[in-house]
Amino acid sequence: MAKVDVVVPCYNYGRYLVDCVRSVLDQSIKDVRVLVIDDASSDDSLEVAKRLSALDWRVEVVTHGRNLGHIATYNEGIERADSDYFLLLSADDMLVPGALERAIEVLAKNPDVVLTYGECVSWHDELPIPRIEPTQRYTWSRHDLLKEICTTGTNVVPTPTAIARTSVQKAIGGYRALLPHAGDMEMWLRFAANGSVARIKAVQAIYRKHPNAMSNAYFAEAMSDYSQRQLAFDSFFEEYEHRLSSSHRLSGVARGALADHVFRCGITLLRQGRPKDGVRLIQEAMRIDRRLRYLPPVWQLFKLPSAEGRQRALSAVRVGVSHMLGRRRGALSGSQRKRGGGSGEEAT
């Protein structure tokens, strides 16, 4: 009988922990271990976890004396896993009935499959928990996840649904410390490079959305997100450059897709009347993908409702192109001076 480890990292999510752990224990697969790792929470998370452990022997609790952060906690969970299959489930998310059974059935019958994922229902926690009825009928297919992530430039795997073969998880290693906000996307790229990925066409989990009003923090978050995604792609392709025959082509595709995201986000900010932030993102897009310096997607500008907004965006493109070309000319001049023997005085 296959066994599953579900690791639940928890930091100050005591109010959600019961729903999360219950959603795992109530699965039709009973040979499951829930490992709650409390990262030195200041709320009642540890007390809640201990109560759950006292009620069901399948729940184990590990606690940190000091806060180590989510990446270190995730990796500790991977190190402690010793079952056939593995899931990292945030303490504020939940599985739906039958999720483990469906994933394990696919993994057990198809040794080439190293990772499964499915659909996910987003839910705002001020609303009642959505009821997902158990389903015995579902379909699945092998999926070119590597190509899709690179083509879209974003993470397409709902993390609460990602159930993996533990042996492969340990072989490819843990989460990267340099990727606190894009570590999951980079992890799925590594899985996809090491075997088949199966997409289950059924709802597998419920993802809890917390209230987060759009504000001026959005720009900083967007810049951080894009930087993290670029770093995730760079990290992956650096490691797998010589293992994948298509690495050079896919790297270019990923860079282009990410730059397109950034450019469109810049246009959105211009539409919102935030010219400074919009211009910066347009210029960032040109930095990510140098091809935009010579052939920017100016058709995006016509989505702007006003002539003034279009003029701002066009100016941003001009400034970005001029800036990048200016740097290029400077670099070329520098190299020419070196070939000429250094400074003008030395050449005479």
Q: Indicate if 122 and 87 belong to the same structural domain.
A: yes
Closest alpha carbon to 300 in 284, 317, 287, 277: 317
346 within a domain of the structure (yes/no): no
Q: Indicate if 305 and 272 belong to the same structural domain.
A: yes
Domain that residue 60 falls in: 4-209
Label residues 147-170 b or e (16+ Cβ within 10 Å = b).
Answer: ebbbeebbbebbbbbbbbbbebbe
Q: Indicate if 268 and 163 belong to the same structural domain.
A: no
Q: Indicate if 205 and 221 belong to the same structural domain.
A: no
237 within a domain of the structure (yes/no): yes
Q: In 3-state terms, what secondary structure has residue 120?
A: strand
Last residue of a domain, one of 152, 176, 209: 209
304 within a domain of the structure (yes/no): yes
Last residue of a domain, one of 176, 209, 242: 209
Neighbours of 191 (CB within 10 A): 23
Q: What's the pLDDT tens digit per position in 16-68?
A: 999 999 999 999 999 999 999 999 999 999 999 999 999 999 999 999 999 99
State the pLDDT at residue 88: 98
344 within a domain of the structure (yes/no): no
Q: Indicate if 227 and 201 belong to the same structural domain.
A: no
> Is the model's pLDDT at 345 over the cut of 60?
no
- β-bridge mates for residue 306, sequence order: none
State the pLDDT at residue 31: 95
84 within a domain of the structure (yes/no): yes
CA gap 212, 233 in Å, rounded: 27
Q: Beta-strand (E) ranges in the chain?
A: 4-10, 32-38, 59-63, 85-88, 94-95, 113-124, 140-143, 163-165, 196-209
Highest mean pLDDT among 24-33, 286-295, 334-343: 24-33
166 within a domain of the structure (yes/no): yes
Neighbours of 305 (CB within 10 A): 9
Q: Indicate if 184 and 303 belong to the same structural domain.
A: no
229 within a domain of the structure (yes/no): yes
Q: Any idea which of 107-121, 125-139, 158-172 has the lowest mean pLDDT?
A: 125-139
The count of domains in the chain is 2
Q: Indicate if 158 and 272 belong to the same structural domain.
A: no
CA gap 12, 3 in Å, rounded: 28
Closest alpha carbon to 230 in 261, 264, 204: 261
Q: Quickly state the pLDDT bin for 317 (edges 50, 70, 90).
A: low
Q: Indicate if 186 and 328 belong to the same structural domain.
A: no
Q: Indicate if 142 and 225 belong to the same structural domain.
A: no
Q: Indicate if 203 and 232 belong to the same structural domain.
A: no
Please give the residue that has the higher pLDDT: either 176 or 318.
Answer: 176
State the pLDDT at residue 215: 42
State the pLDDT at residue 158: 96
328 within a domain of the structure (yes/no): yes
Q: What's the pLDDT tens digit per position in 60-115?
A: 999 999 999 999 999 999 999 999 999 999 999 999 999 999 999 999 999 999 99
Q: Indicate if 195 and 230 belong to the same structural domain.
A: no
Half-sphere exposure of 172 (CA within 13 A, CB side): 22
Last residue of a domain, one of 160, 187, 209: 209
- Cα–Cα distances (Å) from 272 to 147, 212, 298, 310, in that order, read 33, 18, 18, 12
- Cα–Cα distances (Å) from 41 to 11, 47, 169, 176, in that order, read 5, 10, 27, 23
> Is the model's pLDDT at 298 over the cut of 90?
no
Q: Quickly state the pLDDT bin for 326 (edges 50, 70, 90).
A: low
- Whether 169 contacts 86, CB under 8 Å: yes
Domain of 19, CATH number, reads 3.90.550.10
Residue type, 157: V
Q: What is the mean pLDDT of residues 148-174?
A: 97
Q: Indicate if 47 and 156 belong to the same structural domain.
A: yes
Please give the residue that has the higher pLDDT: either 253 or 136.
Answer: 253
